[in-house]
Copies of this chain bind each other. A is one copy, B any other.
Amino acid sequence: MILGAIEAGGTKFVCATGDETGNVFDRVSIPTTTPAETMAAVDAYFKAHPVDAIGIGSFGPIGVNPDDPKYGYITTTPKPGWGDFDFLGHLKQHVDVPLYWTTDVNEAAYGEAEIGIAKDVPNSIYVTIGTGVGAGVISHNEIFNGRTHTELGHMRLNRLPGDDFENNCPYHDICLEGMAAGPAVGKRTGKAGKDVAEDDPVWATVADYIAQACVNLTVSFAPDTIILNGGVMKQKQLFPIIREKFAAYLNGYEEVPALDQYIVPAGLGDNSGVVGGLLLAKLALSEA
């Protein structure tokens, strides 16, 4: 059995082959240009590397509800050419194997939940804080979706007293993404996050909003584990600050797991998505 994975991001697509334990045999990175060009490269990859099933995680928003006429589509993205693109429909015309379709963050969440840092618990949330903020929720070992997928990057939080930063989101006066994602760090400091000193006070501000988000995830989903990944979280000094602020905000209201096992980095690093894709391919096969 050879499994395939697609991690479809707004900047690049990763296509890979591997096995049901998450071993990656081969991978290629394809720039995200136009659907015609990028998808032709995807089709060619899986023609050259035949697989038994493919797990796909896509940037969004996407249609994830099988009853929705836009199921399988990338829907309202501002990315030129990709709005209203029938991703799954296209793939079905080019590969004749079972496909699993979900968001890029759900795919990564599934990888972490199956064989990553959350493999021993049934309920976990994977949050990536980078160019934007995305999150995938695993509930009782399955991907959680409602009417559509979650958009947890846009949850409202309490503006810190004295923080007059203009929320970096075209839609909202305050939200996690607008206050704490990479571009917000850039605007707050005038440099790229990786060039900001480890002890710059901006990190305490960023950590505060992330801690508030962890409180809201806790009282909403009661997960066993919250996984923080993405470019901003490469600043490892954030973890202890986030845990400390989280504890102060939750203030003992409810019992949670030990914080160094509750708010944690990804176990698979930058591989969460591709590995998740392989495991979702396995799931698609078992359900086919």
Instruction: Write the residues of chain A forming the contact surface with B, with a CB cutoff of 8 angstroms.
Output: 61, 76, 123, 139, 144-159, 171-174, 212, 215-224, 249-255, 257
Residues of B contacting A221 in the complex (Cβ-Cβ under 8 angstroms): 146, 150, 220
Q: Are A159 and B156 in contact (CB under 8 A)?
A: no
Q: Nearest Cβ distance between residue A66 and chain B, in whole angstroms?
A: 12
Q: Are A215 and B156 in contact (CB under 8 A)?
A: yes
Q: Is chain A's binding surface mostly helix, strand, loop or mixed?
A: loop
> How many chain copies?
2
Residues of B contacting A171 in the complex (Cβ-Cβ under 8 angstroms): 250-253
In the complex, A56 Cα to B145 Cα: how many Å? 27
Q: Nearest Cβ distance between residue A120 and chain B, in whole angstroms?
A: 13
Residue of B nearest to A254 (CB): B151
Task: Given A172-B249, A224-B146, decide whether A219 and B159 contact each other with a Cβ distance below 8 A.
Answer: no
Task: Given A157-B158, A158-B156, A212-B156, decide whether A147 and B249 contact each other with a Cβ distance below 8 A.
Answer: no
Q: Nearest Cβ distance between residue A208 and chain B, in whole angstroms?
A: 11
Q: Are B220 and A147 in contact (CB under 8 A)?
A: no
Contact of A251 among B61, B172, B252 (CB under 8 A): B172
Residue of B nearest to A174 (CB): B158
Q: Are B219 and A154 in contact (CB under 8 A)?
A: yes
Residues of B contacting A154 in the complex (Cβ-Cβ under 8 angstroms): 215, 219, 253
In the complex, A150 Cα to B152 Cα: how many Å? 16
In the complex, A145 Cα to B139 Cα: how many Å? 8
Q: Are A139 and B144 in contact (CB under 8 A)?
A: yes
Residues of B contacting A254 in the complex (Cβ-Cβ under 8 angstroms): 61, 148, 151
The 6 closest A-B pairs by CB, nearest first: A146-B222, A151-B219, A171-B253, A123-B146, A171-B251, A147-B222
Residues of B contacting A149 in the complex (Cβ-Cβ under 8 angstroms): 222
